[in-house]
Amino acid sequence: MRRKLLPLAGLYLVQGLPYGLQSGLLPMLLRAGGLSLTRVGLAKVLYAPWLFKLVWAPLVDTRGSPRAWLTLSTAALGLVCGLLAALPPVEAGQAGLPVTVAGLLLLLNLGAAVQDVALDTLAVQLLEPAELGPGNTVQVVAYKLGAVVAGGGLLALVPALSWSLLFLLLAATYWLAAVLAWAAPVLQQLPKPPASEPPPHTLHLGDLLAVSGTLWTAGFVITYKLGEQGAGSLFPLVLLDQGFSTPELGLWNGVGTVACSIAGSSLGGALLAKHWQLLPLLRSVLRFRLGGLACQTTLLFYLDTPGARLGPGTVLRGAALLSLCLQHFLGGLVTTATFTLMMRCSQLAPSALQATHYSLLATLELLGKLMLSALAGALADSLGLPLCFSLFLALSATPIVYLGLAPNILASSTLA
């Protein structure tokens, strides 16, 4: 199993770089530059290519090998980073992103989305059922490490290193990862689909939805992150408005919270490896997450009162940072369990459909996260923070109820 997980870890790490760049660095710079919460949230439109993975997922299934797709897309990401290195830095005083930078970031997301489909295809076909827990822990943890390197790390290093040097380092990282994708022996040993399976060119959406457990899993992955993503998008910006400095938030929100998220993901993988039942584990963690968000919402109600501030050294300031870290810890645990559930559901599909099936679930999962993170700023500007966070709290209760409707084929699985 180690021979499989080590190269997957390296590749998932570089896959997290674009997300960290745009979720950890850009929102802070844009908000510090005076943009409204609505405009900061709408910058998430750069993630749009991730919503169209189903367009090229069938090509990964049917044209060429996943290893070739993975190598080419990773090398292309290095090229885009090289082009970004030739542009002037994005400074906090600018009114928004330069058009050329925004266009290249859009291409960066496109390349990362293609890379994601190819890498998930390799993971689905390589991992045995008993390896799904550790495998998805590696996936989530490595992805988040990549995000923290390009998010909090970049935010901390931009004053000391030039924008150009940072993107040249990212380009070199992608090109090394492309070599790994092509040369790793274990990635060359994908099983061949049985000859009896139907030809993949006859694929329709109905074929994917007909796979056992797919409709329920699709509903769950759309809703399980709604409240968490809305609160997670806004709370760091609220702390910025309350007097936290950009470097301080870069440390806590870009490094500390990711460390907590990684710890939660690792715990989730360890529990699954010890043969914990997947759905009961999800139910318990979702309840804890709901309680943590309730505490965060209570703090928001206090901050909305006149004269309320989070002064240095105060108990409330520490409580705010603790709340931020706790939510990311529980979010990491939930994510690992959910991705394991998605991969298990995709393994129930014929092997010729597995990449496209997993891409469908991953696209829906991303859509659920983007809906609230992109609209959170507009909701806060129109409804006010207390009412907005109350809505997030209600949305976080939804997946707990929904788990009770899980089909038997998923509810009975121990993934062992």
What DSSP state is assigned to residue 309? Answer: -
Share of the chain above pLDDT 90, in %: 12
What is d(CA 250, CA 21) in angstroms, rounded to the nearest whole number? 12
Nearest one of 115, 137, 121, 139 to 191, comparing CA atoms: 121
Mean pLDDT of the chain: 78
* Residue-wise pLDDT tens digits, 117-133: 888 877 777 777 677 76
User: What is the pLDDT, as a whole number, of residue 29?
Assistant: 58
Q: Are 54 and 367 contacting, i.e. CB atoms less than 8 angstroms apart? A: no
Name 303's Cβ contacts closer than 8 Å, sequence gap at least 6: 238, 242, 310, 385
User: What is the pLDDT, as a whole number, of residue 162?
Assistant: 65
Which two three-digit tokens encode residue 190?
Answer: 């994908």
pLDDT at 30 over 70: no
Q: How far apart are the first and last CA of the chain?
A: 14
The whole-number average pLDDT for the span 217-240 is: 87
Which two three-digit tokens encode residue 121?
Answer: 């295809």
What is d(CA 216, CA 219) in angstroms, rounded to the nearest whole number? 5
What is d(CA 132, CA 127) in angstroms, rounded to the nearest whole number? 6
What is d(CA 186, CA 135) in angstroms, rounded to the nearest whole number? 14
* Residue 364 buriedness (CB in 10 A; 0-12 / 13-18 / 19+): buried
User: What is the pLDDT, as a whole number, of residue 194?
Assistant: 46
What is d(CA 106, CA 121) in angstroms, rounded to the nearest whole number? 23
What DSSP state is assigned to residue 255? Answer: I
Which two three-digit tokens encode residue 346?
Answer: 């995709």
Nearest one of 343, 359, 409 to 125, comparing CA atoms: 343
Q: Please give the helix or strand (H or E) that residue 368 lies within, else none.
A: helix 354-383
**Per the confidence metrics, is the pTM higher than 0.85?**
no
User: What is the pLDDT, as a whole number, of residue 288?
Assistant: 94
Class of CATH domain 2-411:
mainly alpha
* Residue-wise pLDDT tens digits, 348-400: 888 777 778 888 898 888 888 877 777 887 888 888 888 888 999 999 999 99
Nearest one of 261, 252, 43, 40 to 155, comparing CA atoms: 252
Nearest one of 166, 186, 188 to 81, comparing CA atoms: 166
* Residue-wise pLDDT tens digits, 268-284: 888 887 777 888 989 99
* Residue 51 buriedness (CB in 10 A; 0-12 / 13-18 / 19+): middle
* Residue 285 buriedness (CB in 10 A; 0-12 / 13-18 / 19+): buried
What is d(CA 183, CA 126) in angstroms, rounded to the nearest whole number? 16
User: What is the pLDDT, as a whole number, of residue 7?
Assistant: 79
What is d(CA 208, CA 346) in angstroms, rounded to the nearest whole number? 9
Nearest one of 187, 158, 164 to 87, comparing CA atoms: 164
